[in-house]
Amino acid sequence: MFDTPGATGPRPPRVVSRRDALRYAGAASALAGLGAAAAGATAATASAAAPTLIDFAMRQIPAQDIRAAGHSGVINYVSTSRPGSSFGAKPITLPYARSLNAAGLVIVSNYQYGKPGGTAPSDFTRGYAGGISDARTAWQLHTAAGGGQSAPIFFSVDDDIDRDTWNSLALQWFRGINAVLGVQRTGIYAGINPCQWAAADGVIGNSRTPGRVWAWQTRSWSKGQIYPAAVLYQRIVSTATNPGPVVGGLEVDVNDVLAQDCGQWNLHP
């Protein structure tokens, strides 16, 4: 269905200062420790292979319930609810973020307002001007909740798009986002092909983990493949016919952490 992407290798990583390297090592160690705890947990939701982060929208899940389920943190929205909906976890709030931090959980930011067939169109259809507007909203909500000044925000392409749609719509949207945030603070959530196209077209930044870029890949539309440069992989996508695990009384999506630097706030203050 998709055209074969061109060269998809990540751009050379930026030089990291000694101070940043020490901060990275500390934060990465904390994430690895949580991953070890998850591996030893009896909860069925924990992945023994890698630390896991959960994402959800319906309401805020208490930090203690996330820890008890063996997860290392959350990917939370820095966007508001679409017209006619009221999602309690959109956007993340400062008190909730503080509760997660206090419990030793990490936070990664994601922006998604519209969706296919929803009351607002898919965000990527809004072009360059829409990208500018969405990036401004995302950054305001991210910083209001205490998000790191250098942390990336993952912007969602929650649809099965082809290369023509990428080139004519989504790419222009990402360039609008870049105009506000810069490439290094821009990430993508999508199936494997848009993740590769975003890296090849230079509109997403680099993780501090060598060879990794700000790509949060969903298993949807990925045909069983995992992009080697992705930092996160959405392994469980909760649907009405295939519900995800329950954490704090709410069905959630589960994401494997593929890099020590997956864009978590505490690593990018």
What are residue 73's DSSP bridge partners? 53, 106
- Cross-strand bridge partners of residue 216: 189, 232
Any residues with CB less than 8 A from the CB of 164 and at least 6 apart, and which? Answer: none
Looking at per-residue pLDDT, the higher value among 46 and 172 belongs to 172
- pLDDT range class, residue 134, cuts 50, 70, 90: very high
For the chain, which domains are there? 18-267 (3.20.20.80)
Residue 245 has pLDDT above 90, yes or no: yes
Rounded to whole angstroms, the Cα distance separating 131 from 153 reads 13
| Alpha-carbon radius of gyration of the chain | 17
Of 4-8, 12-16, 155-159, 223-227, the poorest mean pLDDT is in: 4-8
- Res 49: pLDDT: 64
- Return the exposure string of 209-246: e unless at least 16 CB atoms fall within 10 Å of the residue's CB, then b: beebbbbbbbbebbeeeebebbbbbbbbebeeeeebbe
Quickly count: other Cβ atoms within 10 Å of residue 137's Cβ: 17
Coil, helix or strand for 80?
Answer: coil
Asked whether the predicted pLDDT for residue 124 surpasses 70, the reply is yes
Predicted pLDDT at 31: 59
The CA-atom distances, in angstroms, between 5 and each of 8, 26, 110, 129, 186 are 7, 36, 25, 26, 20
Residue 21 pLDDT more than 60? no
- pLDDT 10s digits, 62-103: 999 999 999 999 999 999 999 999 999 999 999 999 999 999
pTM of the entire structure?
0.84
Q: How confident is the model at residue 108 (pLDDT cuts 50, 70, 90)?
A: very high
